[in-house]
């Protein structure tokens, strides 16, 4: 049915025009207000007087207002082309007024009567659209549950301020609308998910911020976009107590961060901390280290034929990432703590002010809630107070002691040269001691505190590893002695060559937080982790320590766990270790929206070949496409020729993004070289890449994780390239679940065993 044939078309066009007109008027008012505030800020800066507290406060307030108005203008300008995407008609049980709620990315309030023209999708009442069905429904408001009835649910396609489609629906979205959204190109899909959020996704987005949320999500289930929308939702609902800088999203690499960089601003959110674990770790530790390239280790594990060497590498990485290694560090930290305070009393000359045992008790017991370095300041305060309290007493004691000595001399000796000499000597000694004590007041605390040695996290780490007997003693109940020694020697060797592994970052961060404390600039309250299956238990524990609580959103897919030797293999087990028994929520999102039913079915066949019940199959949704065919070629040049033809077809079909996925960077380089001979120059995405602007790229499997492309070509899915091991099956699964529309698989020689089942 044409949009023109919809019975409410004219009414809806009238509503859209009214909304757009009001937005333009409102936008103009906001802009004028912004110009006025800009002038106030400029005047305040020009005439700034540091002695005028009132002027300073006014300047700060105006700058905050200016930032808020700037953000408001950005949001309004973005909304002018598409002010809303849905409508819900709702009658509250206790009332008889029908509310027509138009839902968009930002709210709009009519100033004359405070009537909502547009409801923000993050508002509690918007849940009616995402989860409610026609008939009885309710939503949770700040004052409690609101009961009522949904009379109408409607969706709109609005492009460039023009109404293109109207769909009356019952659930979140109808098949036609969802297919249109899922079938669009990669760039548009990431931004437009807000209009097609499904009920189960909505529950994840709106879950309690303060209880850890662990999401096992299928490939293409929208984990990344859900994570970003969750941040936008939480900020909207906690804007009075939290700022964007209190939220941090951790992505697998910088390239991935660039890939998602426009989504949060499009949702009206700026200044959220977006980082990788490695970059955040270096910021916490406060020192730059050369970190071993994770893809090099992965490449070694993929290509090396020596099982002994593979097991050694995996064992070392696995143990350093484990809860057991964290326990070893806890024991070591107790030793550091025990020896932190020098075993000396605090005194001036012969006057005892505080015994070592008393100082140590303050350090270990009274101030145990603080990092060790910060406890020193509290000890210093205590010593200062003790000194102040005893200063006059010490002087009086010295004066009294020597006055009595002089009196005794006078009593026992008659006046003579010797007596006068003794009295003068005693008086001089008294005065000298008084002068010395008074001078010592200024330095005695400083000198005592100077004896407390605080090392860097790396120095503490090295001391542990260099002490063979200590490391053996601390680790004997957790790991075999031979493996412990391998861990110790291998890590020391890396450190001496000025290199550390990713697995060393969590221990170093842990030492930094517990011993040295955090810098003030790190003020994260909620952490969102994408691709969390590749995180270790120790990494999660140290992040929990840093934010000082359990406010986490953890999203991942065990089917894509290619770093399983150090990552998470069971969500429940890992969550219990990190967050505590029954202190987290676990959600499974099985549906996959990214790719076609045909592609997802083929990928599921591959992952099922592992016969692992913990790996949950993705359930493809709605959209059909071409069958996946695996083409065997027995000549490398034939594959290159096929890929050349595919590239031509991709360009003709007008797809905006495509990837040739290889198993390793080395394979990418080989394909790039051969394609260049045919005049096709394709960029390789490697570990250090920070940017993706669309088009065709060559990318290794492990870096493709979390990304999506309109079309994917798997360059060589041969049995030789992908022998049937857990790691190879998961790498192939990752590659197969990246395309939105089309998947081509070539094999140089016999295809991989898993692909024969398709």
Q: Which residue segment(s) compose the domain that 402 sits in?
A: 346-450
Domain endpoint, select from 204, 228, 259: 204
Average pLDDT of span 184-199:
63
Q: Within this chain, do residues 125 and 92 fall inside the same structural domain, yes or no?
A: yes
**Residue 50: pLDDT band with limits 50, 70, 90:** low
**Residue 315: pLDDT band with limits 50, 70, 90:** confident
Q: Within this chain, do residues 308 and 281 fall inside the same structural domain, yes or no?
A: no
| DSSP label of 560 | G
Average pLDDT of span 136-165:
93
Q: Within this chain, do residues 282 and 400 fall inside the same structural domain, yes or no?
A: no
Q: 607 lies in a domain?
A: no
More confident residue, 439 or 698: 698
Average pLDDT of span 712-741:
96
Q: Within this chain, do residues 478 and 368 fall inside the same structural domain, yes or no?
A: no
| DSSP label of 751 | B
What is the reported pLDDT for 254?
A: 85
Q: 674 with 667: CB under 8 angstroms?
A: no
Q: 422 with 416: CB under 8 angstroms?
A: no
Q: Within this chain, do residues 270 and 180 fall inside the same structural domain, yes or no?
A: no
Q: 524 with 273: CB under 8 angstroms?
A: yes
Per-residue pLDDT of 442-495, as tens digits, reads 788 999 999 999 999 999 999 999 999 999 999 999 999 999 999 999 999 999
Give me the residues paired with residue 347 across strands.
Answer: 352
Q: 604 lies in a domain?
A: no
Q: 524 with 248: CB under 8 angstroms?
A: yes
What is the reported pLDDT for 426?
A: 84
Q: 479 lies in a domain?
A: yes
pLDDT reading at 736 higher than 50:
yes
Instruction: Work out the angle at residue 126's Cα, subtended by the Cα atoms of residues 125 and 129, and round it to the nearest 5 degrees.
Output: 120
More confident residue, 31 or 643: 643
Range with lowest mean pLDDT among 68-77, 89-98, 563-572: 68-77
Highest mean pLDDT among 26-30, 347-351, 631-635: 631-635
CA–CA distance from 361 to each of 338, 340, 354, 446 (Å)?
A: 10, 12, 11, 20
Q: 718 with 604: CB under 8 angstroms?
A: no
Q: 375 lies in a domain?
A: yes
CA distance 482 to 734: 36
Q: 654 lies in a domain?
A: yes
Q: Within this chain, do residues 259 and 116 fall inside the same structural domain, yes or no?
A: no
Give the rounded percent of residues in the chain with a pLDDT score beyond 70: 95
Q: Within this chain, do residues 547 and 663 fall inside the same structural domain, yes or no?
A: no
* Average pLDDT of the residues of the chain: 89
Q: 341 lies in a domain?
A: no
What is the reported pLDDT for 362?
A: 96
What is the reported pLDDT for 128?
A: 95
Q: 280 with 250: CB under 8 angstroms?
A: yes
Domain endpoint, select from 401, 434, 450: 450
Q: What is the pairing mode between strands 213-217 and 162-168?
A: unpaired
Q: 3-state class of 452 per DSSP?
A: coil
Domain endpoint, select from 589, 604, 632: 589
Average pLDDT of span 175-188:
49
Range with lowest mean pLDDT among 107-116, 254-263, 724-733: 254-263
Per-residue pLDDT of 221-244, as tens digits, reads 989 889 999 999 999 999 889 999
CA–CA distance from 236 to each of 230, 244, 335, 529 (Å)?
A: 10, 10, 45, 20
Q: Within this chain, do residues 320 and 467 fall inside the same structural domain, yes or no?
A: yes
Q: 3-state class of 59 per DSSP?
A: helix
More confident residue, 280 or 195: 280
CA distance 699 to 734: 12
pLDDT reading at 2 higher than 70:
yes
Q: Within this chain, do residues 370 and 441 fall inside the same structural domain, yes or no?
A: yes
What is the reported pLDDT for 684?
A: 93
Q: 609 lies in a domain?
A: no
Q: 337 with 479: CB under 8 angstroms?
A: no
Task: Give the total number of structural domains in the chain.
Answer: 5
Q: Within this chain, do residues 318 and 411 fall inside the same structural domain, yes or no?
A: no
Q: 519 with 286: CB under 8 angstroms?
A: yes
Q: 145 lies in a domain?
A: yes
Q: What is the pTM of this model?
A: 0.87
Per-residue pLDDT of 392-409, as tens digits, reads 888 888 788 888 888 888
**Burial class of residue 578 in the structure, from the number of CB atoms within 10 Å of its CB (0-12 exposed, 13-18 middle, 19+ buried):** buried
Average pLDDT of span 667-678:
95
For 253-356, strand residue ranges (E) read 273-276, 290-291, 346-348, 351-354
Q: 129 with 89: CB under 8 angstroms?
A: no
Average pLDDT of span 117-122:
95
Q: Within this chain, do residues 368 and 329 fall inside the same structural domain, yes or no?
A: no
Query: For the chain, how big is the Rg over CA atoms in Å?
Result: 34
Q: Within this chain, do residues 490 and 584 fall inside the same structural domain, yes or no?
A: no
Average pLDDT of span 628-632:
94
CATH of the domain at 257: 3.40.50.300
């Amino acid at each position: 049915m044409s949009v023109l044939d919809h019975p409410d078309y004219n009414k809806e066009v009238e509503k859209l025009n009214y909304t757009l007109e009001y937005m333009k008027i409102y936008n103009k008012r906001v802009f004028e207000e912004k110009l006025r505030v800009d002038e106030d800020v400029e005047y305040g800066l020009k005439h700034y007087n540091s002695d005028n507290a009132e002027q300073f406060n006014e300047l700060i307030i105006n700058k905050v207002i200016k930032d808020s108005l700037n953000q408001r203008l950005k949001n309004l300008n973005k909304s002018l082309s598409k002010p809303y995407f849905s409508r819900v008609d709702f009658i509250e049980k206790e009332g008889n007024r029908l509310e027509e709620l138009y839902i968009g990315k930002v709210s709009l309030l009519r100033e004359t009567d405070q009537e909502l023209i547009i409801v923000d999708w993050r508002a509690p009442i918007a849940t009616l659209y995402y989860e409610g069905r026609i008939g009885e429904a309710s939503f949770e408001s700040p004052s409690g549950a609101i009961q009522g009835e949904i009379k109408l649910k409607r969706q709109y396609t609005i492009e460039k301020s023009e109404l293109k489609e109207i769909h009356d629906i019952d659930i979140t979205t109808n098949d036609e609308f969802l297919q249109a959204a899922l079938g669009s190109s990669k760039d548009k899909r990431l931004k437009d998910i807000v209009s097609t959020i499904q009920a189960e996704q909505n529950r994840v987005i709106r879950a309690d911020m303060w209880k850890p949320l662990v999401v096992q999500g299928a490939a293409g289930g929208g984990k990344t976009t859900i994570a970003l929308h969750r941040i936008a939702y939480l900020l909207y609902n906690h804007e009075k107590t939290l700022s964007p800088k209190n939220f941090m999203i951790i992505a697998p690499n910088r390239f991935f961060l660039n890939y998602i960089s426009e989504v949060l601003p499009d949702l009206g959110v700026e200044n959220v901390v977006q980082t990788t674990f490695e970059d955040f770790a270096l910021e916490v530790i406060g020192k730059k280290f050369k970190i071993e390239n994770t893809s090099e280790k992965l490449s070694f594990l993929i290509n090396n034929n020596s099982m002994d060497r593979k097991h050694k590498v995996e064992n070392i990485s696995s143990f350093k990432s484990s809860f057991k290694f964290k326990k070893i560090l806890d024991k070591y930290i107790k030793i550091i703590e025990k020896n932190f305070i020098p075993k000396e009393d605090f005194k001036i000359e012969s006057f005892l002010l505080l015994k070592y045992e008393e100082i140590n008790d303050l350090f270990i017991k009274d101030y145990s809630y603080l990092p060790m370095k910060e406890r020193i300041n509290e000890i210093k305060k205590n010593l200062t107070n003790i000194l102040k309290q005893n200063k006059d007493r010490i002087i009086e004691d010295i004066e009294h002691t020597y006055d009595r000595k002089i009196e005794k001399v006078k009593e026992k000796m008659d006046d003579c040269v010797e007596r006068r000499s003794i009295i003068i000597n005693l008086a001089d000694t008294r005065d000298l001691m008084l002068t010395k004590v008074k001078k010592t007041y200024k330095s005695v605390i400083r000198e005592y505190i100077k004896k407390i040695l605080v090392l860097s996290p790396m120095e503490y780490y090295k001391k542990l590893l260099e002490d063979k007997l200590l490391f053996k003693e601390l680790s004997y109940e957790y790991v075999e002695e031979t493996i412990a020694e391998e861990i110790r020697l291998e890590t020391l060797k890396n450190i001496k060559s000025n290199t550390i592994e990713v697995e060393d970052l969590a221990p170093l961060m842990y030492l930094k937080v517990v011993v040295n404390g955090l810098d003030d600039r790190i003020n994260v309250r909620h952490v969102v982790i994408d691709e969390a299956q590749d995180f270790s238990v120790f990494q999660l524990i140290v992040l929990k320590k840093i934010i000082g609580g359990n406010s986490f959103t953890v999203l991942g897919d065990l089917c894509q766990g290619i770093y399983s030797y150090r990552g998470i293999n069971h969500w429940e087990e890992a969550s219990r270790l990190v967050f505590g028994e029954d202190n987290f929520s676990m959600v499974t999102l099985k549906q996959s929206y990214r790719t076609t039913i045909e592609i997802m079915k083929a990928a599921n066949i591959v992952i099922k070949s592992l016969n692992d019940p913990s790996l949950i199959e993705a359930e493809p949704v709605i959209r059909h496409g071409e069958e996946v065919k695996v083409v065997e070629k027995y000549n490398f040049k034939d594959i290159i020729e096929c890929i050349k033809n595919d590239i031509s077809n991709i360009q003709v079909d007008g797809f905006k993004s495509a990837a040739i996925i290889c198993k390793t960077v080395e394979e990418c380089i080989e394909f790039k070289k051969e394609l260049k001979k045919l005049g096709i120059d394709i960029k390789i995405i490697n570990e250090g890449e920070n940017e993706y602007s669309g088009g065709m790229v060559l990318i290794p499997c492990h870096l493709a994780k979390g990304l999506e492309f309109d079309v994917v070509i798997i360059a060589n899915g041969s049995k030789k390239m992908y022998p049937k091991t857990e790691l190879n099956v998961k790498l192939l699964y990752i590659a197969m679940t990246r395309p939105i529309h089309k998947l081509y698989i070539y094999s140089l020689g016999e295809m991989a065993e898993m692909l024969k089942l398709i």
